[in-house]
Structure 1
Amino acid sequence: MSYRELFRASRLAIFPVGLLARLPYAMTPLGTLLLLQQATGSYAFAGLAAAAQSLAIGAGGIAVGRLADRTSIRRLGLIMAVANAIALTGLLATTTAGEVAMFAAAVLVGATQPQVGPLVRVHWSHLTRSRPDQPGLITTALSYEAAADEASFIAGPALVGLLAAASAPVPAAAPLTACIVLLVAAAMPVALLYRNAPDKAPEQSTAVPLPKAGLAALCAAMAVIGALFGTVQVGVTAYATAADNPSAGGLTYAALGAGSAAAGIAYAWIPARISMRTRYRISAATLLIAMLSLPAAGTSLPLEAAMLVAGLAIAPHMITLYAMTEQLAPTRVAITMTIVCAAGPVGTAAGQALAGLLVEQSGHRAAFTLAPLLAAVALTLALTSRVASPLQTGAVTTRTADASSRI
């Protein structure tokens, strides 16, 4: 299925506005780390607060998912965008109020994240399920979304770096202020473009039980990816600070997103005959190989090059996880998608907290050494997990050639 067909299937505005709407999600973690480290001088506190923020994102995502099963995702997206803008304003106001206030404000920012990525994927699921004559459209949509996510993780950290460099002597205030502007100018409008769920038949009600084993397996896999993000964020920030150029951290981290975005775009052209099980295992093995480049960063390999190589393996693995999630419970795609997406920030929290402690003790290289170990866990999960999807039951339309796969 071509990207041209995807662009024809929905309102064109959702593509540029949706890209801008997810920038605050990409900018807030690094912006929070920079803000709190500057305010307190402690990487341990900044990492701990950022970890708590990520946990709050996960908890908020689950709450949003449960509500999205029962109400309009347009309304939810709009409310969360407004709430997050207010919470970010509060975080900026607490930098002189002490660590307790900063910590609480960081958590509130996480809890009110608009969940643009999960909700726009729910939008695509609702849209593609209404087009049974285009079974490959969902794979193309998920590939586009992965590329858009990674494009935001190129532009977001780069914007943090550029705004921090341009706004001395208060480098951390400008990035989060920009997030507030983007929430109002993009996250609120894009929420109005979401496609709500069609009217549900009685057998497709929210009473349908979730496949707990499959959901747990996918959450574990997504949490590992989140931990990789958190680890690398802290490692890059510490590396840039040690080089006496803290504003360069965002620009360096953007290389990870560049590699991932390129791989995400290419994913749509993988032949449909390749099963989801095969994709899952190959992408996990590739992830491990790519992450082995990070411990060598800054010595035998430039950090930017190592980040680019590592990024190439991320999007294919995440797209595969999203595709399996979309198939897991077709009548409850909102809650399953948001739960699995919420596992990412939970993993990010663990990665940020652990990497913050390691960096405090041993420097940035300790964080980069942790990345291959996490990738090895991802490969173990891919080789041992069996995610069953109840696609053969009920009035569910045929999806893609992958839909009949069992992982």
Structure 2
Amino acid sequence: MLGACRTGITALTERLGRPDRAGLVHAAMGVLSAVAGLSMAPVPPRVPLATRWRTATAAAFALSLPLLWTDGLAVLYAFVTVLGVAYAPHLITVFGATEPAVPPTRLAEAMAFATSALVGGQALAIADAGRLAESYGPAAALACADGEPTPYVRGAGGTLPARVPTGSPRTGGS
């Protein structure tokens, strides 16, 4: 979900004519994510990892939905910053679930494998979402993050693809 969402955000900043802002938008997401991650420390151990995982996953899904209809940079910053609250708790929970599942002597290896699996999963999602963004626009990549990619039909006033062909004037909304 994170990889596809990041791809959609990058494609959206490009469509908005501000590809130079993609890194700053991702950084905005990271700020609240870090705060949310630090706030996980006082969560009592009696809250099961499965409950934490489901909560973080549901939050990431729900908080990413508004991105499908985002059409301005300021709104994008706001939504992405709030979306960040779901990511660190999700990652912390994934690693927290790994620890009791393996013998202590294999913990470092298991954490390395979990990290590699997360990075590999993101790479696959980025590749797939990138293709969707190129063919159908940012909303398709973002929909992929939400699990339901659907193409759009470009019409008068419709969503622009992620890339506008070189030499073409930018058309549609502002």
Which TM class, normalised by the smaller chain length? Answer: 0.7 to 0.9
Q: 3-state SS of the aligned residue for 2:71?
A: coil
Candidates 33, 43, 68, aligned match of 1:270: 43
The aligned runs of 1:248-259 (5 Å cut-off) are: 248-259=21-32
Does structure 1 residue 334 correspond to structure 2 residue 108?
yes
Give the TM-score normalised by the residue count of structure 1: 0.34
- Tell me which residue corresponds to 1:232: 5
Paired residues of 1:261 and 1:315 also in contact (CA < 8 A): yes
Paired residues of 2:16 and 2:71 also in contact (CA < 8 A): no
Whichever residue aligns with residue 358 of structure 1, its letter is L
| CA–CA separation in structure 2 for the residues paired with 1:345 and 1:331 | 23
- Tell me which residue corresponds to 1:317: 90
| CA–CA separation in structure 2 for the residues paired with 1:258 and 1:317 | 15
Superposed CA offset, 1:296-352 (max 9, x none): 2226x8111111122111111111111111222122011111111101111112111
| CA–CA separation in structure 2 for the residues paired with 1:259 and 1:311 | 5
Does structure 1 residue 361 correspond to structure 2 residue 135?
yes
Paired residues of 2:64 and 2:146 also in contact (CA < 8 A): yes
Q: 3-state SS of the aligned residue for 1:373?
A: coil
Candidates 345, 367, 373, aligned match of 2:119: 345
| CA–CA separation in structure 1 for the residues paired with 2:61 and 2:137 | 22
- Tell me which residue corresponds to 2:14: 241
| CA–CA separation in structure 1 for the residues paired with 2:10 and 2:60 | 22
Paired residues of 1:257 and 1:311 also in contact (CA < 8 A): yes
C-alpha spacing 1:334/1:232, structure 2 compared with 1 (3 Å): same
| CA–CA separation in structure 1 for the residues paired with 2:101 and 2:137 | 41
Sequence identity (%): 36
Measured after TM superposition, the shift of residue 233 of structure 1 is 2.7
Superposed CA offset, 1:108-138 (max 9, x none): xxxxxxxxxxxxxxxxxxxxxxxxxxxxxxx
**Which has more radius of gyration?**
1
- Tell me which residue corresponds to 1:290: 63
Paired residues of 1:231 and 1:352 also in contact (CA < 8 A): yes
Measured after TM superposition, the shift of residue 356 of structure 1 is 1.3
| CA–CA separation in structure 1 for the residues paired with 2:15 and 2:53 | 37
| CA–CA separation in structure 2 for the residues paired with 1:253 and 1:237 | 9
Q: 3-state SS of the aligned residue for 2:147?
A: helix
Whichever residue aligns with residue 271 of structure 1, its letter is P
Measured after TM superposition, the shift of residue 264 of structure 1 is 0.4
Whichever residue aligns with residue 34 of structure 2, its letter is A
Give the TM-score normalised by the residue count of structure 2: 0.75
- Tell me which residue corresponds to 1:48: none
Q: Provide the aligned length of Structure 1 versus Structure 2.
A: 146
Measured after TM superposition, the shift of residue 293 of structure 1 is 2.5
C-alpha spacing 1:245/1:291, structure 2 compared with 1 (3 Å): closer
Q: 3-state SS of the aligned residue for 1:262?
A: helix
Superposed CA offset, 1:342-379 (max 9, x none): 011111121111111111111112112222218xxxxx
CA RMSD of aligned residues (A): 1.9
- Tell me which residue corresponds to 2:80: 307
The aligned runs of 1:206-217 (5 Å cut-off) are: none
Q: Which has the higher helix share?
A: 1
**Whose relative contact order is higher, 1 or 2, with alpha carbons under 8 Å and at least 6 apart?**
2
